[in-house]
Structure 1
Amino acid sequence: LERSCQDPKHLPVPSHESPLSLLSASEEAKNKDVISTESGIDLGPGLFFSDGKRKVDYILCYKSKKRRSQGGPAGDIEDSKLTEEEKALMREDFEAGLVEAGLQIEHDKERPNGIRFIRLHIPWPILSREAELQKIKVAVKKVSGFTLWHISKFKTHDLHLVKSPRSNCFVLGAELPLSTYLITFVPIVCQLLHDEWANYGVMHKYQPVDLIRKYFGEQIGFYFAWLGVYTQLLIPPSVLGIIVFLYGIFTVDTNVPSQETCDDNLNITMCPLCDGVCDYWRLSTVCSLARASYLFDNGATVLFAIFMSLWAACFLEHWKRRQMCLKHSWDLTSLEDQEVLKPLCHEPDSLDIEDHLSGYLINVSTLLFLIFVTFSAVFGVAVYRICMLSVWSMNPDPEAKASVRMTVTTTGIILNMLVVLVLEEVYGAIAVWLTELELPKTTEEFEERLIVKSFFLKSMNAFAPIFYVAFFKGRFAGRPGDYVYVFGDYRMEECAPPGCLIELCIQLSMIMLGKQLIQNNVFEVLIPYKEEEKRPKQQLDKDYVLEPFEGVGSEYMEMIIQYGFVSLFVASFPLAPAFALLNNVIEIRLDAAKFVTEIRRPDAVRCKDIGIWYNILCGISKFSVITNAFVISFTSEFVPRMIYQYMYSTNGTLNGYTDHSLSYFNVSNFPPGTAPTTTLITGVSTCRYKDYRDPPWKPDAYTLSKEYWSVLAAKLAFVIFFQNLAMFLSMLVAWMIPDVPRSLREQLKKENMMLMEFLLNQDQEPAAPLCLPAQEGPRPVTACLDRATPAASAGSNRHLLLLLWFLLTLHHPPAHIHLLHHEHQFRHHLHNPRLPNQPHSPKPPVNYLH
Structure 2
Amino acid sequence: MGDPDLLEMVEQEGRRNSREFIYSVETSDFQKRAQSKDSVFFRDGVRQIDFVLSYVDDIKKDAEIKAERRKEFEQNLRKTGLELEIEDKRDSEDGRTYFVKIHAPWEVLVTYAEVLGIKMPVKESDIPRTENSPLRYMLGPVRLPQEVKFPRPEYFTAQFSRHRQELFLIEDEATFFPSSSRNRIVYYILSRCPFGVEDGKKRFGIDRLLTSNTYSSAYPLHDGQYWKPAESPSTVNERYTLYQNWARFSYFYKEQPLDLIKDYFGEKIGIYFVFLGFYTEMLLIAAVVGLACLIYGILLMDSNQTSTDICDPEIGGQLIMCPLCDQVCDYWRLNSTCLSSKLSHLFDNESTVFFAIFMGIWVTLFLEFWKQRQARLEYEWDLVDFEEEQQQLQLRPEFEAMCKHRKMNPVTKELEPYMPLWNRIPWYFLSGATVTFWMALVVSSMVAVIVYRLSVFATFASFMESEATLQHVKVYFTPQLATSLSGSCLNFIVILILNFFYEKISAWITKMEIPRTYQEYESSLTLKMFLFQFVNYYSSCFYVAFFKGKFVGYPGKYTYLFNVWRSEECDPGGCLIELTTQMTIVMTGKQIFGNIKEAIYPLVFNWWRRRKARTNSEKLYSRWEQDHDLETFGQLGLFYEYLETVIQFGFVTLFVASFPLAPLLALLNNIIEIRVDAWKLTTQYRRPVAAKAHSIGVWQDILYGMAVVSVATNAFIVAFTSDIIPRLVYYYAYSTNITHPLKGYVNNSLSVFLIADFPNHTAPSEKREFTTCRYRDYRNPPEDKDKYIHNMQFWHVLAARMTFIIVMEHIVFLVKFLLAWMIPDVPKDVEERLKREKLMTVKILHDFELKKLKENLGINSDLFSKQVMMEESKVQLAKSTI
**How far apart in 1 are the matches of 2:234 and 2:466?**
72
Give the equivalent residue in structure 2 for 1:336. 387
Give CA-to-partner distance per residue, 1:402-452, whole Å, 9 cap, x none: 522211111000001011111112222232233223332222122112112
Give the superposition deviation at 1:111: 2.5
Letter of the 2:328 partner, please give it: V
Judge conservation of contact 1:165–1:215 (CA < 8 Å) in 2: no
**How far apart in 2 are the matches of 1:400 and 1:106?**
82
**Residue 469 in structure 1 maps to residue 469 in structure 2:** no
SS of residue matched to 1:116: strand
Give the equivalent residue in structure 2 for 1:172. 188
SS of residue matched to 1:462: helix
Give the equivalent residue in structure 2 for 1:545. 629
**How far apart in 2 are the matches of 1:198 and 1:399?**
58
**How far apart in 2 are the matches of 1:769 and 1:185?**
37
Give the equivalent residue in structure 2 for 1:346. 402
**Residue 442 in structure 1 maps to residue 538 in structure 2:** no
RMSD between aligned alpha carbons?
3.0
Give the superposition deviation at 1:375: 0.8
**Residue 624 in structure 1 maps to residue 710 in structure 2:** yes
Give CA-to-partner distance per residue, 1:292-347, whole Å, 9 cap, x none: 00000111111111111111111111111111111111111112225222221233
Letter of the 1:377 partner, please give it: S
Give the superposition deviation at 1:764: 7.2
**Residue 278 in structure 1 maps to residue 329 in structure 2:** yes
The 5 Å alignment of 1:130-145 reads 130-139=112-121, 141=169
Letter of the 1:98 partner, please give it: L
Percent identity among equivalent residues? Answer: 39
Judge conservation of contact 1:174–1:603 (CA < 8 Å) in 2: no
Give CA-to-partner distance per residue, 1:31-83, whole Å, 9 cap, x none: xxxxxxxxx99543742222333222211101213x4xxxxxxxxx5xxxx71
CA separation of 1:186/1:666 partners in 2, compared to 1, >3 Å: closer, same or farther?
farther
**How far apart in 2 are the matches of 1:115 and 1:378?**
49
Give the equivalent residue in structure 2 for 1:498. 573
Give the equivalent residue in structure 2 for 1:432. 507
Give the equivalent residue in structure 2 for 1:103. 82
Give the equivalent residue in structure 1 for 2:255. 206
The 5 Å alignment of 1:234-253 reads 234-253=283-302
SS of residue matched to 2:301: helix
Which is worse superposed, 403-412 or 279-288?
403-412
Give CA-to-partner distance per residue, 1:506-525, whole Å, 9 cap, x none: 1001100001101111x112
Give the superposition deviation at 1:271: 0.2
Give CA-to-partner distance per residue, 1:254-298, whole Å, 9 cap, x none: 211111111111200000111112110000000100000000011
Give the equivalent residue in structure 1 for 2:411. none
Give the equivalent residue in structure 1 for 2:607. 533
Give the superposition deviation at 1:756: 5.1
Judge conservation of contact 2:347–2:658 (CA < 8 Å) in 1: yes
Judge conservation of contact 1:47–1:55 (CA < 8 Å) in 2: yes
Judge conservation of contact 2:481–2:571 (CA < 8 Å) in 1: no
Give CA-to-partner distance per residue, 1:815-836, whole Å, 9 cap, x none: xxxxxxxxxxxxxxxxxxxxxx
**How far apart in 1 are the matches of 2:111 and 2:847?**
29
Letter of the 1:357 partner, please give it: I
CA separation of 1:548/1:134 partners in 2, compared to 1, >3 Å: closer, same or farther?
same
CA separation of 1:186/1:238 partners in 2, compared to 1, >3 Å: closer, same or farther?
farther
Letter of the 2:574 partner, please give it: G
Give the superposition deviation at 1:736: 1.4
Give the superposition deviation at 1:541: 4.4
Judge conservation of contact 2:86–2:101 (CA < 8 Å) in 1: yes
Letter of the 2:37 partner, please give it: G
**How far apart in 2 are the matches of 1:400 and 1:464?**
36
SS of residue matched to 1:632: helix
**Residue 269 in structure 1 maps to residue 269 in structure 2:** no
- Which of 476, 484, 493 does residue 409 from structure 1 map onto? 484
Letter of the 2:424 partner, please give it: H
- Which of 684, 691, 697 does residue 611 from structure 1 map onto? 697
CA separation of 1:54/1:763 partners in 2, compared to 1, >3 Å: closer, same or farther?
closer
Judge conservation of contact 1:549–1:602 (CA < 8 Å) in 2: yes
**Residue 325 in structure 1 maps to residue 325 in structure 2:** no
SS of residue matched to 2:302: helix
CA separation of 1:456/1:416 partners in 2, compared to 1, >3 Å: closer, same or farther?
same
**How far apart in 1 are the matches of 2:34 and 2:629?**
28
The 5 Å alignment of 1:745-764 reads 745-755=831-841, 757=843
Letter of the 2:279 partner, please give it: Y
Q: What 5-or-longer segments of structure 1 have no aligned partner?
A: 1-39, 68-76, 147-161, 771-787, 810-850
Give the superposition deviation at 1:392: 2.4
Letter of the 1:387 partner, please give it: S
The 5 Å alignment of 1:668-817 reads 668-678=756-766, 682-755=768-841, 757=843, 767-768=853-854, 802-809=875-882
Give the equivalent residue in structure 1 for 2:645. 559
Give the superposition deviation at 1:173: 5.7
SS of residue matched to 1:138: strand
Give the superposition deviation at 1:205: 0.9
Give the equivalent residue in structure 2 for 1:590. 676
Give the equivalent residue in structure 2 for 1:90. 69
CA separation of 1:440/1:311 partners in 2, compared to 1, >3 Å: closer, same or farther?
same
Give CA-to-partner distance per residue, 1:573-592, whole Å, 9 cap, x none: 00000010001001100000
CA separation of 1:285/1:654 partners in 2, compared to 1, >3 Å: closer, same or farther?
same
- Which of 351, 355, 365 does residue 423 from structure 2 map onto? 355
**Residue 56 in structure 1 maps to residue 142 in structure 2:** no
Give the superposition deviation at 1:172: 2.9
**How far apart in 1 are the matches of 2:707 and 2:717?**
15
- Which of 216, 236, 239 does residue 265 from structure 2 map onto? 216
Judge conservation of contact 1:763–1:789 (CA < 8 Å) in 2: no
TM-score relative to the length of structure 1 = 0.80
**How far apart in 2 are the matches of 1:399 and 1:562?**
44
Which is worse superposed, 491-500 or 425-434?
425-434
**How far apart in 2 are the matches of 1:309 and 1:462?**
21
**How far apart in 2 are the matches of 1:762 and 1:543?**
44
**How far apart in 2 are the matches of 1:41 and 1:116?**
19
Which is worse superposed, 645-654 or 461-470?
645-654
Give the superposition deviation at 1:791: 6.5
CA separation of 1:792/1:240 partners in 2, compared to 1, >3 Å: closer, same or farther?
same
Judge conservation of contact 1:766–1:789 (CA < 8 Å) in 2: no
Give the equivalent residue in structure 2 for 1:290. 341
**How far apart in 1 are the matches of 2:758 and 2:781?**
15
CA separation of 1:573/1:174 partners in 2, compared to 1, >3 Å: closer, same or farther?
farther
**Residue 636 in structure 1 maps to residue 722 in structure 2:** yes
CA separation of 1:254/1:768 partners in 2, compared to 1, >3 Å: closer, same or farther?
farther
**Residue 189 in structure 1 maps to residue 238 in structure 2:** yes
**How far apart in 1 are the matches of 2:464 and 2:261?**
63
Letter of the 1:340 partner, please give it: Q
Which is worse superposed, 82-91 or 41-50?
41-50
**How far apart in 2 are the matches of 1:357 and 1:186?**
55
**How far apart in 1 are the matches of 2:643 and 2:450?**
27
SS of residue matched to 1:264: coil
Give the superposition deviation at 1:164: 5.8
Letter of the 1:236 partner, please give it: I
Q: What 5-or-longer segments of structure 2 have no aligned partner?
A: 1-32, 122-167, 192-218, 225-231, 407-417, 470-474, 615-620
**How far apart in 1 are the matches of 2:96 and 2:395?**
32
Give the superposition deviation at 1:478: 1.4
Which is worse superposed, 55-64 or 626-635?
55-64
CA separation of 1:761/1:190 partners in 2, compared to 1, >3 Å: closer, same or farther?
closer
- Which of 90, 108, 117 does residue 126 from structure 1 map onto? 108
Number of equivalenced pairs = 719
Judge conservation of contact 2:183–2:689 (CA < 8 Å) in 1: no
Give the superposition deviation at 1:165: 4.3
- Which of 652, 663, 687 does residue 751 from structure 2 map onto? 663
Judge conservation of contact 1:278–1:394 (CA < 8 Å) in 2: yes
